[in-house]
Structure 1
Amino acid sequence: MNLKKMKMAYKRYVKNFDDSLNDVRAKYDEAKLEIVSLVESNAVDQDHKLLNRMYKISSYWLEVWKNEVLIKEGVNPMGLKHIQQVTFYQCMCRHIYKDRYPEMKVIDYSFQNSIVSIVHFNLFGWAKEEQIFFDFIVKYLGDNLMEANDWNQHIWFLVELYLQYTNQTIEGTNKYVHLAVKSALTDREQPCGLIPEELGIYREVLEQWNTPDVDEITHLIGRMSEHHSMLASELGKSLEFGNYDYAFYPYEILYLLHVRKKQGLPNPSRFDDFLMNSPEAKMNIQDPEPYPEWDPVLRMIDDFYRKNYPEYIPNHHGVLFE
């Protein structure tokens, strides 16, 4: 691995969020004005705009998170929690339009983001919302609400690890899940050509993730970290970990450490590599993590859908995120 190249990429990663919070806040405020207008006029005929503006809420909290952790080198994951909550509600609101606008594309709405969010729900200990989210993913996997044609190996690693840890299945299995999903989507003539055939280092980790041998898991995590770091070094390119949202946030490794800890398995006491000592890897995540205070714009959107759509999924589950 080219350490110099990786550190240069990291500097660009941090710089990307330096002094940008005010600009994103302005876009958030602009979206808020439009959302308030739609909600106050109860504009049901135009309410798909509420869903299409939700990414601005997520973008704002991404900036808050990066400003706190990367720029100030703090340890508070508040912004990260808000991002995952917005992803949940993007799915819940997208469900409203599954028949009315079946081909509607929503910014930042993807299978990848959904998997990232559900493992964070598990990491945070948000059990009620996690189960609702999991049921949604399984029910709509592959169709217009949850297209699963995803080429990211680490995402399929997270899917399989999550299923094995929680003792659940997708397409009847929790092993080689990417291949089972690919086969099922092929049979249903749904897009699946990008789903990888192999998972590389992640397959090796899946075979040994619950080993009691701390030296063995330390070695595997080291290889995962090197793999992640090499891809993050290509910041800005179309590669795994090449985007500015999570490039140097090793959430797949942190989730592995979490599930091992919950299973009573030993984890390394320290890490020597750059990635695992980055500010985002050092965040203080409690067990369980308290729910964030509601974003007022997101709360407004949730209240609107609860009022106007009896079929809105959160209506069937009472109070959420409190």
Structure 2
Amino acid sequence: MLNTKKFKMAFKRYSKNFNDGIILEHVEKEYEENKSEIINIFELNDIQKDHILLIDLSTISSYYLSKWKNDVLINGGNRMKQLKKVQMVVFYQCMVQDVYKTRYPNMMPEYTFREVITALIHFTLFGWEKEEAILFDFIVDRIDENKIDANDWNKHIWFLLELYLQYRNKTIAGTNQKLHLAVKEKFQKLGLQCDLIPEELDNYREVLERWSTCNVEELRDLINKMSLFHSILASEIGQSIEFGDFKYAFYPFEILFLIHVRNKLGLSVPKQFDDLLMNTPEAKMVIGDPEIYSDWDPLLHLIDIFYRKNYPGYIPNKHGELFK
């Protein structure tokens, strides 16, 4: 059972974190400090130091994450503008990291498996099919490499990836059923770490078995179970593993994606929700169908130009202009 008071207090902490904790002005200052470093590497075409550009992408992501939180949580906005840029940065972290697979084969990724799957799901939500396809291929080709650490405990992420595969009629490790177990088995055979991959997905397994139901009340029951699971863990913000972070704790994009998939397939969805989680500011954001591409961050654009120029094998070079 959800403790409503605890949920509301946790949400207050979540919002307060971006009001007087991670203050936008401070993040902007760090962004501006990195600006000269990025421009300098770009203008000197300094290939010996270009790995710094990969590191600096995290600062760009943090900047737009803070702007998103400021827009939605603090100023009451309902648009995806800044969140779109966060997902764009994750995409380019993957593309740039791939460049260093020879020079720095043991380099730890600047992103997590959770962040990559989150970007894939958002590209699908946004209707950005070209970028979605490129990122999906990246995931498939590197899921058993150190470029993607899929030894991940987040059950909602495995749920999202499996639902995505079923929706798009695609597979990973030869399947789109009980994906987490298939990947775990594959990793065991390859001698890769897989101890964190869950054995069970709990309520998410029931949803994956029944998500295409024609009974809208049955779907509502499934969504309520997902929302309760998410809400209880988000109430433990700062402590729980699954939804305890300050980035997406109260943003139920796993439920929004399920609704999106059903809408795309012409299946009925509930018109409104009465629970607290589905009425948080981030849950109520307006998502266009499709979303227009975000305008480019100027520093991200310089980084993309730099790698296109200096590395013929840089994945975006194979696909022409992106995010336009």
Q: Aligned residue for 1:29?
A: 32
1:1-322 maps to which residues of 2 (within 5 A)?
A: 1-19=2-20, 20-107=23-110, 109-322=111-324
Q: What SS does the corresponding residue of 1:18 show, helix, strand or coil?
A: helix
Q: Structure 2: how far apart are the matches of 1:82 and 1:17?
A: 18
Segments of 4+ moved more than 2 angstroms: none
Q: What residue identity is the alignment partner of 1:183?
A: E
Q: Deviations over 1:42-92 (max 9, x none)?
A: 110111000011111000000111111111111111111001000000000
Q: Structure 2: how far apart are the matches of 1:105 and 1:24?
A: 24
Q: Is 2:108–2:147's contact at 8 Å kept on the other side of the alignment?
A: no
- How far is the alpha carbon of 1:28 from its aligned partner? 0.7
Q: Structure 1: how far apart are the matches of 2:36 and 2:109?
A: 20
TM-score (normalised: structure 2): 0.98
Q: Structure 1: how far apart are the matches of 2:145 and 2:114?
A: 15
**Bigger mean CA deviation after superposition, 234-243 or 159-168:** 234-243
- Gap regions ≥5 residues in structure 1: none
Q: Structure 2: how far apart are the matches of 1:138 and 1:42?
A: 32
Q: What residue identity is the alignment partner of 1:86?
A: V
Q: What residue identity is the alignment partner of 1:69?
A: V
Q: Is 2:173–2:182's contact at 8 Å kept on the other side of the alignment?
A: yes
Q: What residue identity is the alignment partner of 1:78?
A: K
Q: Deviations over 1:194-242 (max 9, x none)?
A: 1000000000000000001000000110110010011101111251110
Q: Structure 1: how far apart are the matches of 2:312 and 2:33?
A: 29
Q: Structure 1: how far apart are the matches of 2:146 and 2:38?
A: 25
Q: Deviations over 1:155-185 (max 9, x none)?
A: 0000100000000000110000000001111
Q: Structure 2: how far apart are the matches of 1:106 and 1:141?
A: 12
Q: Structure 2: how far apart are the matches of 1:3 and 1:244?
A: 19
- How far is the alpha carbon of 1:106 from its aligned partner? 4.1
Q: Is 2:151–2:195's contact at 8 Å kept on the other side of the alignment?
A: yes
Q: Is 2:72–2:281's contact at 8 Å kept on the other side of the alignment?
A: yes
Q: Is 1:142–1:191's contact at 8 Å kept on the other side of the alignment?
A: no
- Identical aligned residues as a percent: 57
Q: Structure 1: how far apart are the matches of 2:158 and 2:185?
A: 14
Q: Structure 1: how far apart are the matches of 2:275 and 2:240?
A: 24
Q: What residue identity is the alignment partner of 1:295?
A: D
Q: Structure 2: how far apart are the matches of 1:234 and 1:249?
A: 15
Q: What residue identity is the alignment partner of 2:195?
A: G
Q: Structure 2: how far apart are the matches of 1:44 and 1:278?
A: 45
Measured at CA, do residues 118 and 48 of structure 1 come closer, stay the same or move farther in structure 2, by a change above 3 Å?
A: same
Q: Is 1:51–1:106's contact at 8 Å kept on the other side of the alignment?
A: no
Q: Structure 1: how far apart are the matches of 2:26 and 2:109?
A: 22
Q: Is 2:109–2:148's contact at 8 Å kept on the other side of the alignment?
A: no
Q: Structure 2: how far apart are the matches of 1:161 and 1:277?
A: 23
Q: Is 2:233–2:240's contact at 8 Å kept on the other side of the alignment?
A: no
Q: What is the number of residues matched between the two proteins? A: 321
Q: Is 1:9–1:234's contact at 8 Å kept on the other side of the alignment?
A: yes
- How far is the alpha carbon of 1:191 from its aligned partner? 1.4
TM-score (normalised: structure 1): 0.98
Q: Structure 2: how far apart are the matches of 1:168 and 1:239?
A: 29
Q: What SS does the corresponding residue of 1:17 show, helix, strand or coil?
A: helix
Q: Structure 2: how far apart are the matches of 1:234 and 1:147?
A: 25
Q: Structure 2: how far apart are the matches of 1:36 and 1:106?
A: 23
Q: What residue identity is the alignment partner of 2:65?
A: L
